[in-house]
């Protein structure tokens, strides 16, 4: 099968599966809903501005949650693909620059101070952006913006914020604040806010479009800075723009659902086995595959047991073995062979 036909087939399957599972997700949960009954209620609804209990559950709870899950899955996957290309490191993931750790610190600080949810969310997003500028600042002080320097700077910043989180855990109330912090750090979509989810859609869209618009430059940049300069690019500015866009999506994702690991690491590797290394194909496919993967995991998390399982646990349980399989099979997809 030709490459273009294979790509169209993969994208078509991903779109069909994503639409099917997202619609099915609206009717999955503790409160059982029938698709036929829901259509009947919508067609015979005579009271203006009134929603039946089933319609209210879908529009106010499940639809925002499904949208949030797909945004986070797509955002983390696209960010992971971007990090791996810009940093030229197959192990680069959305937490490599300390963005996730900083966002977790901001949320933990908000919980410790007893701030309202909106302020805790803002604190999480603010500190994640601060962490990125800390990384860029360390690179500037080092007078080097190479891949290794950026990764090491990210490790330093992440370690500092993880230490701050440990301090917050140490001083937090073990009966109230500490469990809330620990549960939030394990990741969950149980407390998504409809207004927050819809308000972040434009941010995700802008960041995605920025990365997709630079897709062919990412292909050149992944070959090295020298090749990028030969092609007439400014590697420093290009890296900064891509890292800011990717980190913003990571920050928004952590703000919505807490720390959700493995998605941004595993999905790009999985998608490369399907569509190759061209980022013009890799980025859209990663977005669809990441949204589909996390949507399936979220459905399992909220239906497997009576109490909802933190989604970060399941992404690790499923993502790690999946990555091991991809690692073992990587030789047949290695470009160097």
Question: What pLDDT is stored for residue 295 in this prediction?
Answer: 95
User: What is the token pair recorded at 147?
Assistant: 């891949």
Question: What pLDDT is stored for residue 302 in this prediction?
Answer: 87
Least confident residue range of 60-74, 89-103, 262-276:
89-103
Question: What pLDDT is stored for residue 335 in this prediction?
Answer: 46
Work out the number of other CB atoms within 10 angstroms of the CB of residue 86.
22
Q: Is the pLDDT of residue 213 over 70?
A: yes
- Between 181 and 288, the more confident residue is 288
Question: What pLDDT is stored for residue 331 in this prediction?
Answer: 62
Burial of 121 (0-12, 13-18, 19+ CB in 10 A): buried
Q: Is the pLDDT of residue 320 over 50?
A: yes
54 within 8 A of 37, measured Cβ to Cβ: yes
Question: What pLDDT is stored for residue 81 in this prediction?
Answer: 93
CATH homologous superfamily of domain 33-330? ABC transporter involved in vitamin B12 uptake, BtuC (1.10.3470.10)
Domain extent listing, the chain:
33-330
pLDDT in tens, 157-178: 999 999 999 999 999 888 888 8
68 within 8 A of 197, measured Cβ to Cβ: yes
C-alpha to C-alpha distance for 207 and 186, rounded to whole angstroms: 25
User: What is the token pair recorded at 54?
Assistant: 């089933």
Compute the average pLDDT of residues 74-100. Answer: 88
**337, HSE (Cβ side, Cα atoms, 13 Å):** 5
228 within 8 A of 296, measured Cβ to Cβ: no
Q: Band the pLDDT of 82: cuts 50, 70, 90.
A: very high
User: What is the token pair recorded at 187?
Assistant: 């990741």
First to last CA, the chain: 21
Q: What are the C-alpha distances in Å from 335 to residues 86, 195, 227, 331, 332? A: 18, 45, 18, 9, 9
C-alpha to C-alpha distance for 313 and 294, rounded to whole angstroms: 12
C-alpha to C-alpha distance for 274 and 284, rounded to whole angstroms: 12
pTM: 0.89
250 within 8 A of 94, measured Cβ to Cβ: yes
C-alpha to C-alpha distance for 101 and 124, rounded to whole angstroms: 10
% of the chain with per-residue pLDDT over 90? 36
Mean pLDDT in the chain? 86
Angle at CA of residue 75, ends 212 and 168, nearest 5°: 140
Most confident of 47-61, 216-230, 318-332: 216-230
Question: What pLDDT is stored for residue 336 in this prediction?
Answer: 39
H/E element, 41 = helix 35-43
Work out the number of other CB atoms within 10 angstroms of the CB of residue 17.
15
% of the chain with per-residue pLDDT over 70? 90
pLDDT in tens, 181-209: 888 888 889 888 888 899 899 999 999 99
Lookup result for tokens 């290695």: 334
Question: What pLDDT is stored for residue 249 in this prediction?
Answer: 92
Question: What pLDDT is stored for residue 201 in this prediction?
Answer: 93
Q: Is the pLDDT of residue 155 over 80?
A: yes
What helix, strand, coil percent values describe the chain, rounded to 5? 75, 0, 25
Q: How large is the C-alpha radius of gyration of the chain?
A: 21
Question: What pLDDT is stored for residue 333 in this prediction?
Answer: 47
Compute the average pLDDT of residues 19-45. Answer: 74
**Residue 186, helix vs strand vs coil:** coil
Most confident of 7-11, 234-238, 285-289, 299-303: 285-289
Q: Band the pLDDT of 337: cuts 50, 70, 90.
A: very low
Angle at CA of residue 313, ends 308 and 319, nearest 5°: 130
Q: What is the DSSP string of 63-106?
A: HHHHHHHHHHHHHHHHHHHHHHHHTT-TT--TTTTSHHHHHHHH
pLDDT in tens, 48-58: 555 667 677 78
């Amino acid at each position: 099968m030709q490459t273009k036909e294979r790509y169209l087939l993969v994208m078509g399957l991903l779109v069909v599966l994503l639409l099917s599972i997202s619609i099915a997700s609206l009717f999955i949960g503790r409160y059982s809903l029938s698709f036929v009954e829901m259509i009947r209620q919508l067609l015979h609804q005579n009271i203006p501005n009134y929603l039946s209990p089933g319609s209210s559950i879908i529009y106010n709870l499940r639809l925002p949650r499904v949208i949030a899950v797909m945004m986070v899955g797509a955002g983390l996957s696209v960010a992971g693909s971007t990090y791996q290309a810009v940093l030229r490191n197959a192990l680069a993931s959305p937490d490599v620059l300390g963005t996730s750790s900083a966002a977790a610190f901001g949320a933990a600080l908000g919980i410790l101070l007893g701030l309202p949810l909106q302020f805790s969310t803002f604190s999480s997003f603010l500190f994640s952006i601060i962490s990125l500028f800390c990384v860029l600042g360390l690179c500037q002080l080092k007078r080097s913006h190479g891949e290794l320097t950026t990764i090491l700077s990210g490790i330093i910043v992440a370690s500092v914020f993880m230490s701050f989180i440990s301090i917050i855990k140490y001083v937090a109330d073990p009966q109230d604040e500490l469990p809330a912090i620990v549960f939030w750090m394990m990741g969950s979509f149980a407390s998504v806010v409809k207004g927050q989810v819809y308000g972040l859609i434009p941010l995700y869209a802008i960041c995605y479009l920025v990365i997709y618009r630079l897709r062919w430059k990412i292909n050149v940049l992944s070959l090295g800075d020298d090749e990028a300069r030969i092609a007439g690019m400014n590697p420093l500015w290009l890296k900064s723009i891509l890292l800011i866009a990717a980190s913003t999506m990571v920050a928004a994702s952590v703000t919505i659902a807490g720390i959700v690991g493995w998605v941004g690491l595993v999905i790009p590797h999985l998608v490369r086995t399907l569509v190759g290394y061209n980022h013009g194909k890799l980025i859209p496919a990663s977005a669809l595959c990441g949204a589909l993967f996390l949507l399936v995991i979220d459905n399992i998390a909220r239906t497997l047991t009576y109490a909802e399982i933190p989604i970060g646990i399941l992404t690790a349980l499923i993502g790690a073995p999946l990555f091991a399989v991809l690692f073992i099979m990587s030789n047949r997809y290695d470009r160097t062979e």
